[in-house]
Amino acid sequence: MTIVDVLDDLARVAAATTPDQYALATPSAGLDVLALRRHLTGGLIYFEAAFRNPRAANNGADPHTYSGPDDLEAVLARLSGTLREALDAGATAAQALAFYG
């Protein structure tokens, strides 16, 4: 299974989530479904930027704390395309400047 496969699976789960589920608890401490969607969106936007321009500085952005809009499906589709392009261009043999930790 590749990262693109994982994103495709996440897209299927995100598409099946309905607004009446947004207030439900998740296994992630302190995050209901809507907060988790926003957290995932923010983190994925962060990594999309790193893969789109691997040599750019990230200005100290932290994917752990960023919360994006509730636009998870659109971000997943865009990130999947960006990752496919990066992998086709040899991203596995390059370094990206991305803070994580």
List, for residues 49-94, the tens digit of each pLDDT value: 777 776 665 555 555 566 666 777 887 888 778 777 877 777 665 5
Tell me if 98 is assigned to some domain.
Answer: no
Residue 35: pLDDT over 80: yes
Residue 27: pLDDT over 80: yes
Total count of domains within the chain: 1
> What percent of the chain is modeled with pLDDT above 90?
14
Tell me if 21 is assigned to some domain.
Answer: yes
Task: Report if pTM > 0.85.
Answer: no
Residue 68 contacts residue 75 (beta carbons within 8 Å): yes
Which residue in this structure is represented by tokens 């907060």? Answer: 35
What gap in Å lies between CA 1 and CA 6, rounded to an integer?
7
Tell me if 36 is assigned to some domain.
Answer: yes
Tell me if 42 is assigned to some domain.
Answer: yes
Coil, strand, or helix at residue 25? strand
* Positive or negative torsion for Cα 34, 39, 45, 47: negative
> What percent of the chain is modeled with pLDDT above 70?
71
Tell me if 23 is assigned to some domain.
Answer: yes
Residue 18: pLDDT over 70: yes
Range of the domain at 77: 3-93
Tell me if 71 is assigned to some domain.
Answer: yes
What gap in Å lies between CA 86 and CA 60, rounded to an integer?
22
